[in-house]
Amino acid sequence: GENAHKVAAEITAAGGKALALVADVTKTADLDMMFSRTTSTFGRLDFLHNNAFGMPAAQTSTQVAGRMADVADDVWTHTIDVGLTAVFRAMKRALPVMRAQGSGAIVNTASISGLYADYGIAAYNAAKAGVINLTRVVAIEYARLGIRANCVCPGAIHTPLLAPALEMPGFAEKFNEAIPMGRLGKPEEIANVVLFLASDLASFVTGSAFVADGGQTAKTGSPSFTPE
């Protein structure tokens, strides 16, 4: 919440108009408040970015990982609620507003984990795969109503969500080795993709899942055939 208010203040100071709201995306009342305040303040809704995600309370990415049969029901429920159901509910509220005004753009943050499987994070894989296909549904259903919907699928990005895993011995090195660019992505590198998809520069783009992963999913996983 503090960061949101800080950014809103910076936008206002620069001559723009901004509204910072703090909401729990798993609570319908909070979502209703967020959309009501936004439309009453600005009179329209041009863009929706579903980007919220978080681990269950008092747990981290290293504590929720495990084989599928070992995933606790509460971890599964929380991950699907935040990672998929909240996206559905937010779009459900945004679409009537955008349809009434005849235009709008939606970008949902998915993941390369929604395109391919990982070891040990079944709930996350399922949630992100659901986001990708739900986005495609919206894209085809609302394409002739002036509304576009796309996903961005980041690879490993240096964010607080990944921080606990990066503290595991050797984990960061393994990640860097798996990425052809040899490094994790930066949040602003994903933000640039989102900005493009939200803009009129992407006016003929809808139903797409844009991958930004430093080349991680461009390879087969086989070892190099070229001598070092």
| 205 and 105 Cβ atoms separated by less than 8 Å | no
For 2, counting Cβ atoms within 10 Å of its Cβ (0-12 exposed, 13-18 middle, 19+ buried), the class is exposed
Shared domain for 79 and 143, answered yes or no, is yes
For the entire predicted model, the pTM comes to 0.92
pLDDT given for residue 57 in this prediction: 53
Handedness of CA 53, 136, 134, 92 (dihedral sign): positive
**Residue 96 pLDDT class (50, 70, 90 cuts):** very high
CATH of the domain at 195: 3.40.50.720
Rounded Cα distance, 147 and 24, in Å: 25
- Asked if the structure places residue 221 within a domain, the reply is no
Encoding tokens for residue 13?
């100071």
| 65 and 74 Cβ atoms separated by less than 8 Å | no
Shared domain for 163 and 139, answered yes or no, is yes
Active site residues: 124
Shared domain for 48 and 95, answered yes or no, is yes
Per-residue pLDDT for 97 more than 50?
yes
- Asked if the structure places residue 223 within a domain, the reply is no
DSSP 8-state class, residue 161: T
Shared domain for 196 and 182, answered yes or no, is yes
Shared domain for 102 and 20, answered yes or no, is no
Encoding tokens for residue 208?
């797409």
Q: What is the average per-residue pLDDT within 202-225?
A: 93
Shared domain for 78 and 20, answered yes or no, is no
Shared domain for 56 and 130, answered yes or no, is yes
Q: Dihedral of the CA atoms 214, 216, 222, 227 (nearest 10)?
A: 10
Shared domain for 10 and 57, answered yes or no, is no
Rounded Cα distance, 55 and 77, in Å: 11
**Residue 228 pLDDT class (50, 70, 90 cuts):** low
CA atoms within 13 A on the CB side of 108: 36
- Asked if the structure places residue 226 within a domain, the reply is no
**Residue 61 pLDDT class (50, 70, 90 cuts):** very low
Q: What is the average per-residue pLDDT within 178-183?
A: 94
Shared domain for 98 and 198, answered yes or no, is yes
- Asked if the structure places residue 38 within a domain, the reply is yes
Q: Which residues span the domain enclosing 5? A: 1-43
Average pLDDT, the chain: 92
Cα angle 125, 129, 130; round to 5: 120
Shared domain for 110 and 22, answered yes or no, is no
Shared domain for 36 and 90, answered yes or no, is no
Bridge partners for 209 per DSSP: 151
Encoding tokens for residue 154?
């980041």
Domain total in the chain:
2
Shared domain for 75 and 37, answered yes or no, is no
Between 75 and 223, the more confident residue is: 75
